[in-house]
């Protein structure tokens, strides 16, 4: 169940915006703008203009469409965008309703532009693969098969190792068609074409009246000539674009990683980014210690893609790979990457979401691990110097550590306050006791209560029934998680599951990368911060600091009227938890009810006075 604000953007089924359950009539391109901002985050105006219009008057057309959106929402008392706002962001009063429903996501927006359709198909691929029901790619194959009308062209995009050929083979099996490599054969068959498409004549595809042509396209680089010619000559209504998403954690855990302990499976999943080809290579290499090996096949695949860049652009990309996260302009300059940003964005290696960052952290890891030690050390030192100039002390400490230089941790720790200090000290192996101990009690557990979803937010997060899962990578600079509605009575919250955290320095190079946080606002603010290796304790501002073990099993007493916000801001982590809520048993039932040890969000006045 999903609740949100009064204005909701419905993700599944016909594309629409609703106010208190009634549809607001909008132009289709206005809807497209809202969906893009909801799913991609803050976006520059020029990107939206190119995506939806792509001609000389695109910017003017975008201004007109934004004005129409304002006119549609003004009678309701809302102003969606500020004059001159750039990048544009989804207005806070509009929420994306992800409640699954019949049909495909965002139906009716297919014909706005070729570029928008490619983006739309990519989003649908990922949403269908990760939605409930048949697991992952099997569901995606079935959905695509059900929607195809032959003859057709299907352009399948993906990164190295994403399993594009395996997807096409599964599609052919579902459709009951022969799978043929290249343009050979005829009739009702699936023809799979790989780059560089040298033996394919455009007329062969244009004149086919029965077959399905599946064209493999890399997520990196620009459209090759064959695809450009098809866009110009093949009917748009018979052309589909699929961006093959990585395996979800649940899908990988149920298949390729099923026989591994959680921690090892999580390490391999984060290293591969969910790429089935990368995972297959990692599973074939002996695992020794904590260092993840770099399979030569994976390295060759990524380097081959990078060789399509200019030499200068490729070297800039390698320099950038030393920094796992968004780049400030100063850092881009220090790593001599600024002149090549246009090329790196155009060819899919970098994206801009308020700050520049890698589009795929697994590819960044491969490039970084392929650096020669001397060059790696040099680039880290360049980054450390720039971070020092920008007074980014945590990032400076990280790059000095990775360069092999000594750090004065004692003086550095003296500059830190709050939970960041405790997290870093634990990472250094010298955990510091907190001034107060957590308040705990035994409570009789009653019947189960439903956790009603109010909203979910941020990247790298999904909900599957009782399970909440985060796959956090360095490109995700904002928190992600869920808010559950308040219960009218005091209740118990039980979190049980597994967590694997790879944050640099324990708290991330931002110093704000708390792996797991619980917050409540009513009757007053309180929060719980989980950090690996810390000692359990409490700070004076109603903040508990608790260790985050690989296996988590913890209970909390939640006050009446308190909504719960559960989030992660980790820079690299995989967290898979089951969340359940229970009533507190009535006194007449307490003797028969099971007793559970719970942590309190607030310290009692008597205990606080005794310790003061």
**pLDDT tens digit sequence for 346-403:** 999 998 877 899 999 999 999 999 999 999 999 999 999 999 999 999 999 999 999 9
537 neighbors 480 (Cβ within 8 angstroms): no
For residue 569, being part of any structural domain is answered with yes
Structure tokens at 239: 């052309």
Q: How many helices (H) and strands (E) does the chain have?
A: 21, 25
For residue 471, being part of any structural domain is answered with yes
**End of a domain among 71, 101, 131?**
101
pLDDT at 102: 67
Q: What is the CATH number for 35?
A: 1.10.10.10
For residue 40, being part of any structural domain is answered with yes
532 neighbors 501 (Cβ within 8 angstroms): yes
| pLDDT band at residue 130 under the 50/70/90 scheme | low
Domain that residue 20 falls in: 1-101
Q: Is the pLDDT of residue 591 over 90?
A: no
- The alpha carbon of 69 is separated from its chain's Cα centroid by a whole number of angstroms, namely 28
**End of a domain among 33, 68, 101?**
101
pLDDT in tens, 281-320: 998 887 766 678 888 899 999 999 999 999 999 999 999 9
For residue 38, being part of any structural domain is answered with yes
| pLDDT band at residue 1 under the 50/70/90 scheme | very low
Query: Mapping DSSP to helix (H, G, I), strand (E, B) and coil, where does residue 518 land?
Result: strand
When divided into structural domains, the chain yields a total of: 2
pLDDT at 605: 37
Query: For residues 489-527, b (16+ Cβ closer than 10 Å) or e, as one string?
Result: eebbbbbebbbbbbbbbbbbbbbebbbbbbbbeeeeebb
For residue 599, being part of any structural domain is answered with yes
pLDDT at 612: 42
d(CA 350, CA 359): 5
For residue 133, being part of any structural domain is answered with no
The helix (H) or strand (E) run that includes residue 600 is strand 595-600
For residue 493, being part of any structural domain is answered with yes
pLDDT at 609: 38
Question: Which residue do the tokens 């009513």 mark?
Answer: 522
pLDDT at 135: 53
d(CA 198, CA 234): 19
Measured N-to-C along each axis, helices 296-306 and 276-283 cross at an angle, to the nearest 10 degrees, of: 150
**End of a domain among 53, 68, 101?**
101
Structure tokens at 264: 């090892």
Percentage with pLDDT > 70 across the chain: 95
Q: What is the CATH number for 517?
A: 2.60.120
Q: Is the pLDDT of residue 501 over 90?
A: yes
For residue 53, being part of any structural domain is answered with yes
Distances (CA, A) of 142 to 105, 170, 174, 590: 15, 9, 7, 51
The stretches of 191-237 forming alpha helices (DSSP H) are: 202-206, 225-233
192 neighbors 180 (Cβ within 8 angstroms): yes
């Amino acid at each position: 169940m999903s609740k949100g604000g009064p204005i909701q953007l419905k993700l599944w089924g016909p594309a629409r915006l609703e106010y208190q359950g009634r549809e607001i009539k909008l132009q289709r391109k206005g809807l497209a703008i809202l969906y893009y901002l909801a799913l991609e985050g803050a976006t520059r105006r020029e990107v939206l203009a190119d995506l939806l219009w792509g001609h000389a008057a695109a910017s003017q057309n975008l201004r007109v469409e934004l004005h129409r959106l304002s006119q549609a929402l003004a009678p309701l008392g809302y102003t969606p965008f500020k004059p001159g706002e750039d990048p544009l962001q989804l207005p806070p009063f509009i929420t994306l309703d992800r409640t699954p429903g019949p049909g495909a996501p965002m139906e009716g927006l297919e014909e706005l532009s070729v570029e928008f359709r490619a983006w739309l198909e990519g989003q649908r691929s990922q949403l269908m693969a990760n939605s409930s029901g048949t697991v992952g790619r099997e569901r995606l194959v079935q959905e695509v098969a059900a929607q195809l009308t032959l003859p057709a062209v299907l352009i399948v995009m993906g990164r190295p190792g994403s399993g594009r050929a395996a997807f096409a083979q599964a599609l052919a099996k579902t459709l009951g068609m022969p799978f043929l490599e290249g343009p050979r054969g005829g009739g009702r068959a699936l023809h799979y074409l790989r780059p560089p498409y040298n033996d394919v004549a455009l007329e062969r595809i244009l004149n086919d009246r029965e077959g399905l042509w599946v064209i493999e396209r890399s997520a990196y680089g620009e459209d090759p000539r064959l695809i450009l010619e098809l866009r110009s000559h093949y009917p748009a209504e018979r052309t589909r674009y699929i961006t093959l998403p990585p395996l979800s954690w649940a899908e990988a855990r149920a298949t390729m990683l099923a026989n591994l302990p959680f921690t090892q499976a999580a390490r391999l999943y984060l290293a591969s980014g969910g790429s089935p080809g990368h995972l297959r290579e990692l599973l074939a290499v002996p695992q020794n210690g904590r260092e993840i090996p770099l399979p030569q096949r994976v390295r060759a695949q990524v380097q081959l893609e990078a060789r399509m860049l200019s030499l200068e652009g490729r070297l800039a990309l390698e320099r950038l790979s030393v920094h796992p996260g968004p780049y400030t302009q100063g850092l881009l300059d220090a790593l001599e990457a600024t002149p090549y940003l246009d090329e790196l964005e155009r060819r899919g290696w970098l994206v801009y979401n308020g700050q520049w960052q890698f589009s795929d952290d697994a590819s960044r890891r491969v490039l970084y691990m392929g650096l020669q030690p001397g060059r790696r050390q040099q680039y880290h030192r360049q980054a450390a110097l720039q971070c020092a100039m920008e007074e980014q002390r945590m990032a400076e400490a990280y790059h000095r550590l990775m360069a092999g230089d000594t750090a004065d941790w004692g003086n550095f720790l003296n500059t830190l306050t709050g939970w960041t200090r405790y997290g870093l000290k634990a990472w250094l192996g010298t955990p510091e006791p907190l001034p107060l101990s957590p308040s705990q009690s035994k409570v009789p557990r009653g019947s189960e209560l439903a956790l009603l979803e109010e909203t979910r937010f941020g990247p790298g997060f999904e909900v599957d029934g009782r399970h909440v899962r985060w796959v956090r990578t360095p490109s995700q600079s904002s928190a992600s998680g869920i808010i559950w509605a308040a219960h009218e009575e005091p209740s118990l919250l039980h979190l049980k599951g597994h967590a694997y955290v790879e944050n640099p320095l324990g708290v991330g190079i931002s110093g704000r990368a708390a792996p797991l946080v619980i917050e409540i606002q009513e009757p007053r603010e309180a929060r719980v911060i989980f950090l690996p290796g810390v000692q359990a304790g409490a700070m004076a501002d109603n903040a508990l600091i608790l260790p985050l073990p690989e296996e988590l099993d913890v209970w909390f007493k939640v006050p009446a009227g308190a909504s719960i916000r559960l989030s992660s801001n980790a820079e690299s982590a995989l967290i898979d938890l089951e969340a359940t809520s229970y009533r507190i048993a009535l006194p007449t039932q307490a003797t028969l009810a099971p007793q559970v040890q719970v942590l309190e969000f607030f310290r009692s006045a008597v205990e606080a006075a005794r310790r003061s």
